[in-house]
Amino acid sequence: MKPTRLAASVQLAITVTWGAAALAAPVPPSSPSNQQGMPAPPTAPAPRRVPEQDAQGEPAPLPTPSSAAQKLYAAAKADLLQVRSLLKSGRTQSSVGSGFLVGTSNLVLTNYHVVSQFALDPETYTGEWVDTAGQRGNIELLAVDVLHDLAVVRVNRYGTGFFKVPEEPVRLTQGQYLYSLGNPLDLGFAISEGAFNGVISRSFYDQLMFTGPINSGMSGGPSVTAAGEVAGVNVAKRLDGELVSFLVPIRYAQRLLKQVTDRMAAKGAAPKDFTAIVTQQLLAHQKAMVDHLLAGPLTKKTMGPYEVPVRETEQMRCWGNSSAQATSRAEKPFAVDTTSCAMESAVFVSGSLQTGAVGIRHQYLRSIGLDAIRFAQLSSASFKNESFGSYKDSRLTGPQCTEQFVTNGSLPMRAVLCVRAYRKFAGLYDFSLLTASTDDGMMNLQSRLDARGVSYDNGMRTARAFLEALARTGVK
């Protein structure tokens, strides 16, 4: 599927009283139901991991397959499919991915990001399958799991039984060979070899690390053991590494398939509105994310005389840098230390929308050779340079902001809180909180919190915890 990406680190995202002060909340923006989207708030730089079908540049050539891979491909190829998203007008191809028939059924497993266009915009897009023999047909979307990037579709042909999805998760050992199948770069069906190298827990949901090539177009294809058991579904690759790819564990696909088969057994119809289903799943994700973020007190880091809140977990990592190396007043009359924390991944919703992530940034500015007036101009310009999104954005409403001078009991601050509503996904918002200390004319702490894709209540809850945790220790 071209082009899409999955967050900066992953490429496949009030009336509250603090001590003696109250910061009035902006009124929640309305949430029209005809569009979607979100801006990309500033986050810490991070390695990029992308849905493999979105990789740009020249792909690494696939190595010559072993005899085991050749035998596997010969046995499996009848049940491999290419999954295409087509414009209804003219039926021209918009994006491509892969999928596979489950057992002897007519159910196909693939990635959600492969079918996202016709899941969210069925009036404009439709789905088509093509097999290794060149046969093709229409696709009926039955279920999606946006959080684990999975989808189940129904086609008008049946599998031979090669790809069996076991009832229990496949047991894998470090270094065990796996074989990934799909249609790379829309060039033709292929198989690549690699090894299982553990469960990655830096994303909010577990993924398997596959040390092998997964190229653009292989999204949704299966990765199997030498015995032909499906271990995972191709989903993403790192751009900053060699042969570092990722699979969705098959246990998540088992759950989604069971939902479909249980509904079919009960003679239930497929959902008509997948936007509503995606919205429900995103709301569930943001609750789990915020509960996890605020499960305990935020970690405090010292920056000069200030204490700043961060959250360092497997899902969120922090980076720091400083300009203090240039100590000469002539070279630079001020210094800036920066700490930035960002989640390792976000939830892919569409090619223009990744959400369900939190970012934190702190900047400690101090004068080396500036007088109080010039330093005030510097810190004020830095504060005003922040962006909260465009009013012309067709995907989110314009930011509605409130600004006040507040104190949380230990630190007086200037605070701006902005909220934007998702147009297509009712009940979801982007929150941005920007603060600047006002306690010292020769130093300044500027902090920013971005919570993307959260409910209004959880956005307020996160902003409150962040603001309460900022403090001055009293020691320079």
Same domain, 88 and 220: yes
We report the CATH number of the domain holding residue 199 as: 2.40.10.120
Tell me which residue range forms the domain holding 206: 65-272
Give the model's pLDDT for residue 31.
47
Give a yes or no: residue 18 inside a domain: no
Q: Is residue 28 part of a domain?
A: no
Domain end call among 256, 272, 288: 272
pLDDT at 19: 38
**Domain C-terminal end among 272, 289, 312:** 272
Residue 118 lies in a domain: yes
Say what the alpha-carbon torsion angle 193, 3, 277, 419 is, to the nearest 10 degrees: 130
Residue whose tokens read 């008509």: 272
Same domain, 99 and 189: yes
- With 0-12 / 13-18 / 19 or more C-beta atoms within 10 angstroms meaning exposed / middle / buried, residue 475 is exposed
| Integer CA distances (angstroms), 222 to 59, 150, 210, 300, 374, in order | 20, 12, 12, 43, 61
Domain assignment present for 77: yes
CB within 8 Å of 331: residues ≥ 6 apart? none
Do 343 and 238 fall within a single domain? Answer: no
Pairing of strands 230-238, 49-51: antiparallel
Distances (CA, A) of 282 to 349, 353, 402: 9, 12, 26
**Domain end among 272, 303, 320:** 272
Q: Are residues 372 and 412 in the same domain?
A: yes
Give the pLDDT of residue 203: 77
Which CATH number does the domain housing residue 416 bear?
A: 3.40.1000
pLDDT the model gives residue 475: 62
Residues 118, 205: one domain?
yes
Same domain assignment for residues 265 and 313: no
Is 41 inside a domain boundary?
no
In angstroms, rounded to a whole number, what is the distance separating the alpha carbons of residues 192 and 188? 13
**Do 246 and 309 fall within a single domain?**
no
pLDDT value, residue 327 = 54
HSE on the CB side for 155, CA within 13 Å?
29
Kindly report the CA angle at 178 between 176 and 184, in degrees rounded to 5? Answer: 155
Q: Are residues 109 and 235 in the same domain?
A: yes
Q: Is 172 in the same domain as 208?
A: yes
For residue 33, CA distances in Å to 255, 274, 421, 452 come to 29, 13, 11, 18
- Run means of pLDDT, 10 residues per run, the chain, 476 residues: 38 32 55 39 44 49 72 94 94 92 97 96 96 95 97 97 87 93 90 92 86 89 93 87 88 95 92 95 97 92 95 86 68 90 92 94 94 94 88 89 93 96 97 96 96 98 96 77
In a shared domain, residues 226 and 118 = yes
Can you give the C-alpha Rg of the chain in angstroms? 25
pLDDT at 27 (0 to 100): 59
For 205-248, the pLDDT digits (tens) are 999 999 888 888 999 999 999 888 999 999 988 877 788 889 99
How many domains is the chain built from? 2
The verdict on residue 380 lying in a domain is yes
In-domain check, residue 13: no
285 in the same domain as 265: no
Q: Are 97 and 219 in contact (CB under 8 A)?
A: yes
Buried b (16+ CB within 10 A) or exposed e, 345-376: bbbbbbbebbbbbbbbbbbbbbbbebeeeebe
Three-state DSSP state, 321: strand
Together in a domain, 155 and 119: yes
Q: Is residue 34 exposed (0-12), middle (13-18) or buried (19+ Cβ within 10 Å)?
A: exposed
Cβ contact 42:361 at 8 Å? yes
The answer to whether position 24 is within a domain reads no
